[in-house]
Structure 1
Amino acid sequence: MTALIRSQDLTIHRPGTSEPVLSHVDFRIQPGEIVTVVGPNGSGKSSLIRALLGHVPLARGRVDRRAGLRIGYVPQRVQLDTAIPMTVRRFLSLPRRVPDDQAQAALARTGVPGLGARQLTQLSGGQFQRVLLARALLSDPHLLVLDEPTQGLDQPGIVAFYRLIEDVRRQTGAAVLMVSHDLLVVMRSSDRVICLNGHVCCEGTPQHVSTAPEYRALFGAGAEGTLALYRHDHDHHHDLAGPEADHLHGPGCTHGHSPTAH
């Protein structure tokens, strides 16, 4: 099995009913791949994540995970009890104690090296998301799973967070599976996009999905233009070499990389 996780005919019903939440979903994610799941509210995106992680029962189908697979998970919401003081360093050691050097390395990797002594309640939204990502990286995962990781961030914070995800993938080799509403950055950040609405409507490269009739039916006639904000034409030269250059020359880009990389 080369895929890290694979599902076949995955079907989930609402608890206590025969009403399907997801039907006949075939899914896979390969090592090192960045896959983003998009879809309207109620389309089953978070349910798919929970099913792939084994957190909800299947009505039919199967999910296979590679033996020994390590998963780092960043949930959609984390409820904090503001009455209980907790530092970032203590949070990183829940539920198991983490050595100081590992905690410091994880925070440094996510761009917040000096936050260990800070109270969680004192963090900005962007800082907290980076701390959650640092915590997910502590297990040295083969796969990072992020459920709406940029919820509540402003547009610069969203772009910065997805750049960080790309850096983490390059540095660690971990595959990344994301649920996202952030169509503006799907083009830049994903190798493959899966469009979900109770079933898989379409999937493929961001360029393929952005022009698919099924995608445009869900998100409107302007949806293709939304993704196309990260495509551009120019005639000047980029002095790039190596795998980073190949990665920046993403799908649908006629020459070079996203405008955000300038």
Structure 2
Amino acid sequence: MSHSEPPVTDAPLVTAKNLSLEIGGRTLLHDISLELRARQIVTVIGPNGAGKTTLLRLLLGLSRPTAGSIHRRPGLRLGYMPQRMQVDASMPMSVARFLQLGQPGITRAEADTALARVRAQKLRNASLADLSGGEMQRVLLARAASRKPELMVLDEPTQGVDVSGQGEVYQLIAALRDELGCGVLLVSHDLHMVMAATDQVLCINQHICCHGHPEQVSRDPAYLELFGDKLAPYSHQHNHAHDLSGDVLEDHSRCNHDHSRREPGHE
């Protein structure tokens, strides 16, 4: 895996400008802007409750922002991998059938190809209920890529995967990006692993703390304050703001809101 970023020449697949979301008087996201492009892997990181999954929902059109705008390329083909999936053991379903479920036009041959892309052909006839955590993540990744999406959105793609298998999952994601020519947006907690597997990092805690290439973000004071000491509570000072390069802005008024309240749920 390499930090070298593939050339990006196409117009953005998704452009989000100044997204904010408030629910019941609580600020869940504030002034988030980003672009997603073909052949580029962008990873969203942040503490629990930072709004990572909420941001994905906005970008997918599953929720509407309170302020700001989102533009998606017309006809954009999306592949989505949820953070987790509950399987009802009383309703047995094979992996091959699952890949076709709710996806009209996906043939058995295409399902087999999708499994081959993630090196999971042997799971074709297995029951979903019998899969290990790592096997389930591979199947979900195969489903996300089965319709040759222009953009894959992956929420915690290594959840349930042991440490030894996490690197391989990220290698598979990069290989899918290369084969399909798609953009990838993913949320991850695997800080050290993901830093070696992404082109851009977006570090958020309701707002953008820092953004840029992995090496740049890993040295940013905001990143170090969030993740440098795992035992210390997050105490980011909000008398400043960062631009998309991670530099401190002189206009303090852009970041004078309170992020001490956390979004419900575990993100």
Question: Same fold by TM-score, threshold 0.5 exceeded?
Answer: yes
The SS at the match of 1:114 is helix
2:163 and 2:103 map into 1 onto residues whose CA distance is 34
Question: Among 43, 55, 60, which residue is 1:48 paired with?
Answer: 55
Note if 1:149 corresponds to 2:157. yes
What letter corresponds to residue 203 of structure 2 in structure 1?
A: C
Question: Among 196, 202, 205, which residue is 1:194 paired with?
Answer: 202
Q: What's the counterpart of residue 19 of structure 2?
A: 10
What letter corresponds to residue 87 of structure 1 in structure 2?
A: S
Give the alignment of 1:125-164 within 5 angstroms. Answer: 125-164=133-172
Question: Among 45, 69, 74, which residue is 1:67 paired with?
Answer: 74
What letter corresponds to residue 20 of structure 1 in structure 2?
A: T
Q: What's the counterpart of residue 89 of structure 2?
A: 82
2:192 and 2:228 map into 1 onto residues whose CA distance is 14
Shift of 1:83: 1.0
Note if 1:182 corresponds to 2:190. yes
What letter corresponds to residue 220 of structure 2 in structure 1?
A: A
Q: What's the counterpart of residue 212 of structure 2?
A: 204
2:74 and 2:149 map into 1 onto residues whose CA distance is 13
What letter corresponds to residue 181 of structure 1 in structure 2?
A: H
Q: After superposition, what is the alpha-carbon deviation per residue over 1:26-46, rounded to whole angstroms, capped at 9, x for unaligned? A: 111111100000000000000
| Aligned partners of 2:201 and 2:211 also within 8 Å | yes
Q: After superposition, what is the alpha-carbon deviation per residue over 1:126-165, rounded to whole angstroms, capped at 9, x for unaligned? A: 1111111111112210011100111121111111101111
Quote the RMSD (CA, aligned, Å): 1.4
Q: What's the counterpart of residue 37 of structure 1?
A: 44
Q: After superposition, what is the alpha-carbon deviation per residue over 1:41-75, rounded to whole angstroms, capped at 9, x for unaligned? A: 00000000000001112111111001111010000
Shift of 1:96: 3.1
What letter corresponds to residue 155 of structure 1 in structure 2?
A: V
What letter corresponds to residue 9 of structure 1 in structure 2?
A: N
1:222 and 1:163 map into 2 onto residues whose CA distance is 26
What letter corresponds to residue 134 of structure 2 in structure 1?
A: G
Q: What's the counterpart of residue 112 of structure 1?
A: 120
2:222 and 2:193 map into 1 onto residues whose CA distance is 19
What letter corresponds to residue 54 of structure 1 in structure 2?
A: G
What letter corresponds to residue 100 of structure 2 in structure 1?
A: S
Shift of 1:222: 7.6
Q: Unpaired runs of 5+ in structure 1?
A: 224-262
| Aligned partners of 2:45 and 2:202 also within 8 Å | yes
Give the alignment of 1:219-258 within 5 angstroms. Answer: 219-221=227-229
Q: More displaced, 77-86 or 32-41?
A: 77-86
Q: What's the counterpart of residue 237 of structure 2?
A: none
| Aligned partners of 2:137 and 2:159 also within 8 Å | no
Q: Size of the alignment, in residue pairs?
A: 221
Q: What's the counterpart of residue 22 of structure 1?
A: 29
The TM-score, its normalising length taken from structure 1, stands at: 0.81
Q: What's the counterpart of residue 94 of structure 1?
A: 101
2:22 and 2:156 map into 1 onto residues whose CA distance is 22
Bigger relative contact order, structure 1 or 2 (CA pairs below 8 A, ≥6 apart): 2
2:190 and 2:218 map into 1 onto residues whose CA distance is 13
The SS at the match of 1:141 is coil
The SS at the match of 1:166 is helix
| Aligned partners of 2:88 and 2:129 also within 8 Å | no
